[in-house]
Amino acid sequence: MKKILAIIFILTISEFTYSNGIADYFPLKTGNVWIYDWVYNGSPSQGGRINVYVSKDSVINSNKYFLCNFPGISQWLRIDSVSGNLYSYSAGSGCSGNPDELLIDSLLSGKFDSTDYCGNIRRICTDTGSVNFFGNNYSKKEFNPVFVLSAESRSYAKGIGIYSSAYGDPFPTNYTLLGCVIDGVVYGDTTLTGVHMTNSIIPEKFSLSQNYPNPFNPSTNLEFGISELGFTSLKIFNAAGKEVATLVNEVLAPGKYNYQFSTVNYQLSSGIYFYKLESGGFVETKRMVLLK
């Protein structure tokens, strides 16, 4: 009888967690993308735009994780349906109760609640008010470090995800959300590269055209068509198959696009190169010649 009551209690908590949309504070779903403006506050200061996207999901140790591709690192993440905890998979790490997981934040936290990782307080939820993004108000949860135990801070907006974060001590790098694509819906500014839409009419199929001029020096036009909203990459490879440039690496809306590729910022010698388009399962590669 006690076992049955325990199961009912766990299910009730699980239903409470999801019925109140705790998981919506970080919508982990394949295809979701977030675009951030980043600024490094050290010397010399640096900055730019990056994108973080969920590329796939997988079941590990009976838990479903989502692979989030951050710049320079990929993390398998999940939100526990009972506790609301956001975990990162890390084989051999973690606490006794979660031997292969690292606690990031507890999204079920109320104001002034703290995340307790293996007995050490990591961060405190300092605010649970609201934030305005893209013309709408969203409930938020802000987590800030406790003393000097961690230099990480993150802020989540319900239905959007992480909208602000900072990493590093004593010179942090700050990330501010510019736009995102959640469940296929585009919010804000998702432009990351110099690709330009030339026609908003939705093509019947994906396509990659031959570059022009060809041969070229120092620049050439790369045109392609996208028939479905989705993550798109356009990359340049040398004759040996080594990637030499990433031109597009973002979510694009359906339409026809042009990218003017210039070798000015790349130290490329004369020879044969290949450009490869990937989007929505479509993959095509074409050849071009750089003649100096």
Using the predicted structure, report yes or no on whether residue 234 has a pLDDT greater than 90.
Answer: yes
Using the predicted structure, report yes or no on whether residue 67 has a pLDDT greater than 70.
Answer: yes
Largest CA distance in the chain: 81
> Contact, 149 vs 131, CB < 8 A?
no
Amino acid symbol at 283 = V
pLDDT digits (tens, 9 = 90+) for 172-229: 889 999 998 898 888 998 766 567 778 878 899 999 999 999 999 988 999 999 998 8
**Where does the pLDDT of residue 16 fall: very low under 50, low under 70, confident under 90, or very high at 90 and above?**
very low
Q: Stretch 230-236: mean pLDDT, rounded?
A: 89
**Where does the pLDDT of residue 88 fall: very low under 50, low under 70, confident under 90, or very high at 90 and above?**
very high
Using the predicted structure, report yes or no on whether residue 10 has a pLDDT greater than 60.
Answer: no
Report how many helices (DSSP H) and strands (DSSP E) the chain contains, helices first: 1, 22
Which residue intervals of the chain are DSSP H helices? 2-19
pLDDT digits (tens, 9 = 90+) for 30-42: 888 888 888 888 8
Q: Which CATH class is domain 21-188?
A: mainly beta
The overall average pLDDT reported for the chain is 85
State which CATH number among 3.40.50.2300, 1.10.10.10, 2.60.40.1930, 3.40.50.2000 fits the domain covering 196-290: 2.60.40.1930
Q: Is 258 exposed, middle or buried (0-12, 13-18, 19+ CB in 10 A)?
A: middle
**Where does the pLDDT of residue 246 fall: very low under 50, low under 70, confident under 90, or very high at 90 and above?**
confident
> Distance (Å, rounded) from C-alpha 48 to C-alpha 192?
9
Residues of the chain with CATH 2.60.40.1930: 196-290
> Distance (Å, rounded) from C-alpha 236 to C-alpha 269?
13
Using the predicted structure, report yes or no on whether residue 51 has a pLDDT greater than 70.
Answer: yes
pLDDT value of position 194: 66
Percent of the chain with pLDDT strictly greater than 90: 48
User: Would strands 219-226 and 207-208 be described as parallel, antiparallel, or unpaired?
Assistant: antiparallel
pLDDT value of position 6: 39
**Where does the pLDDT of residue 73 fall: very low under 50, low under 70, confident under 90, or very high at 90 and above?**
low
Query: Token digits for 46?
Result: 């640096």
Residues of the chain with CATH 2.40.360: 21-188
